Structure 1
C-alpha cells in the first residue's frame, strides 16, 4: 500500500504486529476514496480499517512483537498469535455455547444461530469474509484462519429443515462476514427456496452487510450487480420483506457518489435499508458525528436502527466508551435530530441474556443508577421491563454492572438456554 510509505517505520511495524493477531484487509476503494491521508493516523476511516497498537494490550503486543523480531517461522508465529486470540474472548455472548440450535435428532447445526425466538441467523460459508475488515469487528474470529473459531455452513438443507420445524421463526438474517461478497447466483440458491409455501411463516429476509460502505460497486458495476438487484426485487414482489441491515460507523461513508447511487438502486428494489453500528472511541464518540450520520441517512431514505455499545471481544479496550458517556452521547444526538432520526435504539449491549438498552441515569432510594431494559431477550418475558443497575463510571459492558435492588437481581442471572 503506497500510502503507508509516508508513515513512520515505527507505525508500520505496529500495524504488522497487530495484524498478526487481528484480521486486516482493505481495498482500493477505501484507500483512495474514503480515507483522508492528510489526517492519518487520526482519520476515522483509517482508524476503522487499519490496525492500531492500542488494539492489543501491552502484554499481548510485546509478546507478538518479540516473536516477530525473533524471526520465528510461520508455524511458531501462528502459535503465538492463536494463544493471544484465545485470551480475547473470540466468541462473546454465548455465540457458540448457547446460540447454536440442534436438529430433530439433537445434533448441533453448524452455521446457524437461534438466540431470539423469532429470528434465525444463517452463516453461509461463501459469505464469511468482507470487502474490507472493520478493526473493531466483534466477529473477528471468523477471519483468522482457525476453523475451530469459525461459524459457517454449506448445508442449506439443514437451514430449511430447521425453519420448517420452527413456525415461530418469522425472520431469517443472512450474515457473516458479509453475504454480499457472494456471487449473486450463490445468494439466489439460498434465498429463492424461501418462497416455497412451506416457508410462508418467514416474513422477513434480512441481509447484514457493509458493502454499501466498503464496496458500493457491488450494486452498480460488478458483473452480477443486475442479477443481485433483480433477486432482491423478486423476493419483494413475492411478498417477503427484504431488509438490508447496513453497517455504518461514520457519515463520511455516505459521501461518495457511488455510495449514494448504490443506496438509490437498492431502495428501488423495494427493499428497506436499516442502519446500525457501534459507538467507538477514535471513530465516532461525538454526538455531532451521530447527528450528521443519522440526518444524512434519513435524506437518503435509510432508517436508523441501532446504536450499539462496543462488544467485549477483540480490540474492545481500544474502542470501548464508558456506559455513562455512551448514553450521554446518544441522548445529546437524539436531542438534535427530528422524530425520523429517533428510530435508532441505543446505546444497546448485545450481551449473553439479550440486547440491553441504557435508557438513562437516575437516582433511586438515594443512590445513582442506570435505568436499563431488554430490547430483545432469550426469555421474551424480560423484554420491555425496566430494571436498574448501580451506577459505575468505569463500566463499559453489562457484566461489569451490579443490580441496584432486589427486583433487578433476576435480570442479572443467566436465563435458561
Structure 2
C-alpha cells in the first residue's frame, strides 16, 4: 500500500478480515458514528500480531467507543467562538480552525465533532477570523489548527501564514499538527513547505510546530528526518500528547518518548488529561493515576524534558495537576480563561481515584460514575 494512500473505511484494511463477522459489524457501527481515517504509512507501523499494539489502538476503531459517556465539546470550546473558525479563550491567544481533515483520526480525538457531517466550526474562508485578530491587538499568539493544517495545500497554508505575518501584533504563529507522526512524507516530499517555514519563521517572530507524538514507535527514521528538516528551517518544534489508556499510560513509555524527543531538540511541552469527550471512556486514565505515571516518568528525564506539564484543558482554563499527598490532590490554574478570577489559583480536593476530570471533584454526580465499569 502506498504511503500516500488514505483509507476511510475499515473494509479497506485486509488485516481486519480475520475478525469474526459480529466483531466487524460492531466496528462498522463505530465508524458510522465516529469517522475513520488512516493512511498507508501509518498502517505499516501496526504490528497486527500484537492485539495490544499501541499504534493500532490509536487509529483503529474499538467497540468501546460506543459506551455512553462524555460529551462532544467537553472543554466548552464553542463558548469562546468569536467568528467562523475563530476561538478566543485566553487574552493573548487566538485559535484558527482551518481544516476539518487529518492525516489519520485518533480514536480519542477531543474534536471528533469537527469530522461529523453537521459541523460548521471550521472555516475554509478564514477572512472573518483574520479580521477579528487584526482588531484585537492584545492577541500576540495565534494557533493554526483544526483538523490538521498540514493537510491544506502548501499554497493555501502559505496564504494563511502570510496574512498572519502581516499583522504586526501577532508575534508567534503556532501550527498544531500530527502529520510528522501520521505521515512525515507530507514534509519530506514538499520542499516548498520548508521554504515557506524558512521565509516566515523570523528571529523575533517565530513559527512553532506543535507536534503530537503519542508513543515512541511513531518516532520512525522518516519522522525523525522530517522533524530535523523542520528544525533546520528555523521553526521551533514542541511536543504534546494526551495520556491514553493502552498507548502511553506507562512511565517507561513516557520517559522514552520525552528523552528521544529532547535528544532531537524537540521540547516536551504538555501531557494532557484525555478529555471526557463522547466515545473516549476506554481511552481515559483517572487523573491521579495519570499524574503518578507522569511524575514517575520525569525521574529518568533530563531537566529539559521536565519542563513538560500535566494539564487539563478545562472550559475555565488550562489547569495543571500540581501534586498529590496521601489525602489530597492539588491543581493550579496555569492559563485561566478569566485571569481576573483564577490567575495562579491553587485548588485542593480530597483524593478521588475515580476522578477523570476536574468536575468529578466539584460535581456530586461525577462523570466517573458512568465510567467505572470500563476497566473492570
Contact 2:173 2:208 in 1 (8 A): yes
Q: Give the match's secondary structure for 2:146.
A: coil
Are 1:89 and 2:52 counterparts?
Answer: no
The within-5 A match list for 1:18-417 is 18-32=30-44, 34-39=45-50, 41-57=51-67, 88-96=70-78, 98-101=79-82, 109-124=83-98, 127-147=99-119, 150-196=120-166, 199-221=167-189, 225-237=190-202, 239-254=204-219, 256-346=220-310, 348-362=311-325, 368-381=327-340, 382-402=342-362
Q: Give the match's secondary structure for 1:93.
A: coil
Q: Give the match's secondary structure for 1:134.
A: coil
Offset from partner CA, 1:12-71 (integer Å, 9 cap, x none): 222112111112111111111x111111x31001000011111221xx6xxxxxxxxxxx
Offset from partner CA, 1:289-329 (integer Å, 9 cap, x none): 10000011011111100000010112221111111101110
Instruction: State the TM-score, normalizing by the size of structure 1.
Output: 0.81
Q: Give the match's secondary structure for 2:77.
A: coil
For 2:58 and 2:124, how far apart are their aligned partners in 1?
A: 30
Q: Note the C-alpha offset of 1:88.
A: 4.8
Q: Note the C-alpha offset of 1:209.
A: 0.4
Contact 2:84 2:129 in 1 (8 A): no
For these two proteins, the number of residue pairs brought into alignment is 350
Instruction: State the TM-score, normalizing by the size of structure 2.
Output: 0.90
Find the partner of 1:11 among 19, 23, 26. 23
For 2:40 and 2:343, how far apart are their aligned partners in 1?
A: 43
Q: Note the C-alpha offset of 1:166.
A: 1.0
For 2:181 and 2:20, how far apart are their aligned partners in 1?
A: 28
CA RMSD of aligned residues (A): 1.6
Q: Give the match's secondary structure for 1:229.
A: helix
Q: Note the C-alpha offset of 1:389.
A: 1.7
Q: Give the match's secondary structure for 1:91.
A: coil
Q: Note the C-alpha offset of 1:194.
A: 2.4
Q: Give the match's secondary structure for 1:339.
A: coil
For 2:40 and 2:334, how far apart are their aligned partners in 1?
A: 38
Larger radius of gyration: 1
Match of 1:70 in 2: none
Q: Note the C-alpha offset of 1:238.
A: 7.2
For 1:379 and 1:321, how far apart are their aligned partners in 2?
A: 28
Q: Give the match's secondary structure for 2:71.
A: coil
For 1:344 and 1:167, how far apart are their aligned partners in 2?
A: 29
Contact 1:137 1:314 in 2 (8 A): no
Contact 2:329 2:348 in 1 (8 A): yes
Q: Give the match's secondary structure for 1:123.
A: strand
Gaps of 5+ in 1: 61-86, 102-108, 404-417
